[in-house]
């Protein structure tokens, strides 16, 4: 679906060239310390910032040459902070810019525990509630525009989707993203600060440091305690778990 060939950025904030592929049905986590380039990379993957070295291709076509409406049918980006300037009801905001059927709206509201909030003003919501609404809106953008001939559910890009959520909602959201990846054959890319969420739910992890991808692959290969301690400058303990795709990481006292 999305292919990077020596893709990078030379202007500040810069990204060193990298190669890679993001596949339908895959959940990719982008991790790294503050200022590593995570949000910058997500912006390049979305097409909002055009790569200045190499190429980024979506469905074998250069990303920057996509017509804007066609691109909106294939990828959606949910930023860290999505300003809402109008007094929309939740169910109205979820389908804004799309023309979904009622069944899809009901499904997405249910998926993200938004049914009790459907008639409420988005301006009355907490930060975590609003965050889930914007994620539902991103999914609705892709799924409502999906053609009958589409082989997959598109590319959903999420910048720190769990930042305002409590641990229960973090778990439910990450489980739901895994379900969407499987059910809709959707490619999902998440910028995450919580390494244990990345290790538990992601199929693949890209670890960034100072604008460079220094490791990528399966969580258990990337999220090694020695690597993470060095990159983050932290003292850590590693706990083996049969339930996670990588060792659980905790701070040393």
Q: What is the pLDDT of residue 250?
A: 82
- Identify any residues that bridge with 134 across adjacent strands, giving them in sequence order: none
Q: On the CB side of 70, how many CA atoms lie within 13 Å of its CA? A: 9
Q: How far is CA 118 from the centre of its chain?
A: 23
Of the chain, the percentage scoring pLDDT greater than 90 comes to 82
Q: What is the pLDDT of residue 48?
A: 94
Of the chain, the percentage scoring pLDDT greater than 70 comes to 96
Average pLDDT, the chain: 92
- Picking from 24, 43, 41, the residue whose alpha carbon sits closest to that of residue 32 is 41
- Identify any residues that bridge with 187 across adjacent strands, giving them in sequence order: 155
2-251 CATH: 3.40.50.300
pLDDT band at 241 (very low <50, low <70, confident <90, very high): low
Q: What is the pLDDT of residue 245?
A: 66
Counting Cβ atoms within 10 Å, is residue 194 exposed (0-12), middle (13-18) or buried (19+)? Answer: middle
pLDDT band at 126 (very low <50, low <70, confident <90, very high): very high
Residue 149 has pLDDT above 70, yes or no: no
Least confident of 67-71, 122-126, 161-165, 246-250: 246-250
Q: What is the pLDDT of residue 236?
A: 83
Least confident of 19-28, 73-82, 147-156, 216-225: 147-156
Residue 181 has pLDDT above 70, yes or no: yes
- Tokens representing residue 163 in the block: 């930042």
Per-residue pLDDT tens for 3-17? 999 999 999 999 999
- Picking from 158, 198, 187, 180, the residue whose alpha carbon sits closest to that of residue 23 is 187
Per-residue pLDDT tens for 85-117? 788 999 999 998 788 999 999 999 999 999 999
**Would you kindly state where each structural domain of the chain is located, as residue ranges?**
2-251
pLDDT band at 148 (very low <50, low <70, confident <90, very high): low
* Rounded Cα gap, residues 223 and 206, in angstroms: 10
């Amino acid at each position: 679906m999305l292919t990077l060939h020596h893709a990078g950025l030379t202007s500040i904030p810069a990204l060193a060239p990298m190669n890679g592929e993001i596949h339908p049905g895959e959940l990719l986590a982008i991790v790294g310390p503050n200022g590593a380039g995570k949000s910058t990379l997500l912006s390049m993957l979305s097409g909002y910032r055009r790569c200045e070295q190499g190429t980024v291709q979506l469905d074998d076509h250069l990303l920057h040459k996509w017509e804007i409406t066609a691109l909106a049918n294939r990828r959606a980006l949910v930023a860290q902070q999505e300003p809402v300037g109008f007094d929309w009801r939740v169910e109205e905001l979820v389908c804004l810019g799309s023309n979904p059927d009622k069944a899809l709206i009901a499904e997405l509201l249910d998926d993200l525990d938004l049914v009790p909030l459907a008639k409420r003003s988005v301006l009355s919501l907490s930060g975590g509630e609003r965050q889930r609404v914007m994620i539902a809106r991103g999914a609705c953008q892709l799924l409502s525009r999906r053609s009958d001939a589409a082989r997959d559910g598109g590319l959903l890009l999420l910048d720190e989707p769990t930042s305002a959520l409590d641990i229960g909602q973090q778990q439910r959201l990450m489980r739901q993203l895994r379900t969407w990846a499987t059910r809709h054959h959707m490619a999902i890319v998440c910028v995450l600060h919580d390494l244990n969420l990345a290790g538990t739910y992601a199929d693949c992890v890209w670890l960034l440091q100072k604008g460079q991808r220094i490791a990528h692959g399966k969580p258990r290969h990337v999220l090694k305690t020695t690597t993470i301690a060095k990159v983050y400058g932290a003292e850590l303990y590693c706990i083996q778990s049969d339930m996670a795709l990588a060792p659980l990481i905790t701070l040393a006292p």
